[in-house]
Amino acid sequence: MLIFLLILTFLAFSINAYALPTFEEVKSSYKKSDVYLLDRNGEIIHELRIDHKIRRLEWVDLKDISPSLIKAVIKLEDKNFYEHSGVDWKALGSAFIENILGEKSRGASTITMQLVSLLDKNLKPKGKKRTLSQKIEQIKAALELEKSWTKEHILEAYLNLVSFRGELQGIASASQGLFGKEPSGLTEIESLLLASLIPSPNSLIEKIEKRACLLSESLKWNIKCDEIKVLAQSSIYRPYHIKHTVSLAPHVARRLIRENKDVKSTLDKKLQIFALQTLRHHLNQLRAQNVNDGAVLIVDNKTGEILAYIGNSGTNPSTIHVDGVLAKRQAGSTLKPFLYGLAIEKRLITAASLIEDTPLNVTTERGIYSPKNYDNEYRGLVTVRTALASSINIPAVRVLMLLGEENFALRLRELGFEGVKDGEYYGPSMALGTVDVSLYELVNAYRTLANRGKWSSLTLTFDRTALKQRKVMEEDTTFIVSHILSDREARSETFGFENPISTKFWTAVKTGTSKDMRDNWCIGFSEKYTVGVWVGNFIGTPMKNVSGVSGAAPIWLEIMNYLHSNIPSRQANPPKTVVKKRVLLNDDSKAEKEEYFLKGTEIEHVLTLKDRGQDSPKIVYPSSDTIIAIDPDIPEENQYVTLSYKPLTEKYEWLINGEKTGIKTPQFLWQTKPGSYRISIVDSENKLIDSVEFIVK
């Protein structure tokens, strides 16, 4: 044995000094397998695992590790730890003799020797055991380490880097994963089991139990083996579980975290928590109406910084990874402000213009398109202000027909709606939101209204390069549209005066519901914030009797009230190119009302039927001697034309070639066939009011 020690010592000290990192370098280079997403104030808002090979948690200082664990590890791994200078020569010599004699396999590596092997991958065994040269390098490195490191630093680094079980590396992950507690709270029996894992982390549980029992006897802790077995079965035998410190923004974390370092975001933790709790609360109330999912996005108007990003409620395991903020859904009525805004901007209409809210049948390549109002009622002539604020469908379709689908599609693309196809693809239904959009896109489009027509991208970081602005809408147009969306009186036609989109402070807001009640939206802005809410079902099933004001709107209202609990909100003053003018309604009331106009589009009167020269009832389509050609590309069963008379407020019956039809509406969808025709309208006393003749070829 003496000869062995002399040879080994000579070899170790004959080699040049071994280069080793300092304790501070090791600690600063330590990387967790889980990375933190921080909010704008530096608070942890989400914890995301990015290393799937090992599981490391935070580095733990020695003072925060249970003394019982330290005692157990030293007793089992290196009982002379505080006496030697890196190598326990006596233990090493004894191990060498025993290995030579074949009595048993023994390593005799000190804690310091094990640590240098953790720090330098070249010192790790290439097979089951280290080669002689590796052993010499390990000894040399251990001796060098003890010259510059304190015993406390060596022990602290060792306990943070050593593997315990499976992928659990370091005392923090082992303590949390197996016992659900911080290392400072480990008991003696838990310390016995953890220390017994170090020599062979993936041993059979029976070997670990036996090792822990022997260690308990050696330490004279008087812990019975049966107790150790019970704890081992309930902790080591089962899959480990580490509870996240905080899990509030999984979708943002996956978007921002790309490497092993914490990332600061624009999110506000308090607002994120409030928005998430509010969403969950209201979804619970809507569960009976088959509403299971939702999403919320809150942004700062000026900076574009996202303050809260709720991809879903996080309560449904089957859809927990779905990001409802980015998912594409039918827009419903939420695109109407941009439709009316473009028509106002092009000076095709004003907020005081009258539009017919009467039955409408539009011939398309797919057949006849007959839009309906949400309440299945028709109001005759309504102003643009009322039509938009009360979200009446048919006037919106008429405005789109006046504007052109492709012009509207182009405006939507300018507003950042990606994937919008050519206008012809959607046809007239485009006005009612058959375009697929995301909550992310909608919120930023409404933020563009709040910013007087200036568009810039949203951001989750403090990268100011994302704030490059471009002008999309005219400032005067956005003011008028915003004023309409904030008009409680104009909104009352459909929603009444008291509803979940009426705030005590200034806001402009719009709701929307897609076909078959599959999607429900509420998007609106105040002076400082834009808030968007979507509710529905990620699997696409329809909701039951849910409208914009009963689904998403209450969530929107609660969040807006929270945001403005101590902050006022006012609409900015109108730009110089907007004129405020009193307009006379030419009816029996002779009422006057103030309205905003683009400069040069002002009117003195809102014309009624009499003013428009429509007091004499007449057929307005088709006119006499019209020749209607049947389109060979449209199926015969879809060949229709719309017969129309005015005034809209009267009821006359239609006659075709002298035969009564029983139809008494201002518009009549009539199936065409080749021939000569005479159509007429008669009053309730069968008096002929008007008639025209035309030909169908």
Residue 19 has pLDDT above 80, yes or no: no
Residue 102 has pLDDT above 90, yes or no: no
What confidence category does residue 96 fall into, taking pLDDT thresholds of 50, 70 and 90?
A: low
pTM over 0.75: yes
Q: What single letter denotes the amino acid at residue 693?
A: E
What confidence category does residue 610 fall into, taking pLDDT thresholds of 50, 70 and 90?
A: very low
Residue 30 has pLDDT above 50, yes or no: yes
Query: Residue 55 carries which DSSP code?
Result: B
Instruction: Classify residue 122: in a domain, yes or no.
Output: yes
Instruction: Classify residue 272: in a domain, yes or no.
Output: no
* Mean pLDDT confidence for 414-420: 95
Instruction: Classify residue 541: in a domain, yes or no.
Output: yes
Q: What is the pLDDT of residue 44?
A: 93
- Please check whether residues 112 and 18 belong to one and the same domain: yes
Residue 309 has pLDDT above 70, yes or no: yes
Residues 369-406 have pLDDT tens digits of 888 888 778 888 889 999 999 999 999 999 999 899 99
- Please check whether residues 501 and 646 belong to one and the same domain: no
The span from the CA of 561 to the CA of 425, in Å, is: 40
Burial of 31 (0-12, 13-18, 19+ CB in 10 A): middle
Residue 639 has pLDDT above 80, yes or no: no
Q: Which domain range does residue 497 map to?
A: 293-563
Domain count, the chain: 3
What confidence category does residue 125 fall into, taking pLDDT thresholds of 50, 70 and 90?
A: confident
- Please check whether residues 547 and 628 belong to one and the same domain: no
**Strand order through the sheet with 293-300:** 306-310, 293-300, 529-536, 519-525, 508-513
Residue 126 has pLDDT above 80, yes or no: no
CATH number of the domain that 128 lies in?
1.10.3810.10
Out of 516, 532, 563, pick the residue that ends a domain: 563
What confidence category does residue 648 fall into, taking pLDDT thresholds of 50, 70 and 90?
A: low
CB 381, CB 355: distance < 8 Å: yes
The span from the CA of 174 to the CA of 73, in Å, is: 14
Residue 10 has pLDDT above 60, yes or no: no
The span from the CA of 261 to the CA of 37, in Å, is: 9
Instruction: Classify residue 125: in a domain, yes or no.
Output: yes
Out of 563, 585, 604, pick the residue that ends a domain: 563
* Mean pLDDT confidence for 202-227: 92
- Please check whether residues 311 and 444 belong to one and the same domain: yes
Residue 285's CB is within 10 A of a number of other CB atoms, namely 11
* Mean pLDDT confidence for 110-119: 92
Instruction: Classify residue 47: in a domain, yes or no.
Output: no
Max CA separation in the chain (angstroms): 132
Query: Any idea what the Cα angle at residue 386 is, between residues 434 and 511, rounded to 5°?
Result: 40
- Using CA of residue 431, residue 437, residue 438, residue 443, what is the dihedral sign? negative
- Please check whether residues 159 and 13 belong to one and the same domain: yes
Query: Is 133 or 331 the better-scoring residue by pLDDT?
Result: 331
- Please check whether residues 523 and 632 belong to one and the same domain: no
Query: Is 636 or 65 the better-scoring residue by pLDDT?
Result: 65
What confidence category does residue 593 fall into, taking pLDDT thresholds of 50, 70 and 90?
A: confident
How far is CA 90 from each of CA 41, 159, 435, rounded to the nearest angstrom?
55, 24, 80
Residue 95 has pLDDT above 70, yes or no: no
Structure tokens at 123: 């010192």
Instruction: Classify residue 285: in a domain, yes or no.
Output: no
- Please check whether residues 214 and 314 belong to one and the same domain: no
Query: Is 579 or 243 the better-scoring residue by pLDDT?
Result: 579
Q: What is the pLDDT of residue 229?
A: 93
Instruction: Classify residue 651: in a domain, yes or no.
Output: yes
- Please check whether residues 203 and 305 belong to one and the same domain: no
DSSP SS3 for 481 = helix
Residues 453-489 have pLDDT tens digits of 999 999 999 987 656 889 999 999 999 999 999 999 8
CATH number of the domain that 688 lies in?
2.60.40.10
Residue 615 has pLDDT above 60, yes or no: no
Q: What single letter denotes the amino acid at residue 121?
A: K
Burial of 393 (0-12, 13-18, 19+ CB in 10 A): buried
Residue 256 has pLDDT above 50, yes or no: yes
- Please check whether residues 513 and 419 belong to one and the same domain: yes
* Mean pLDDT confidence for 243-252: 87
Q: What is the pLDDT of residue 623?
A: 76
**Strand order through the sheet with 659-660:** 626-628, 688-696, 675-682, 653-656, 659-660
Instruction: Classify residue 513: in a domain, yes or no.
Output: yes
- Please check whether residues 558 and 624 belong to one and the same domain: no
Average pLDDT score over the chain: 87
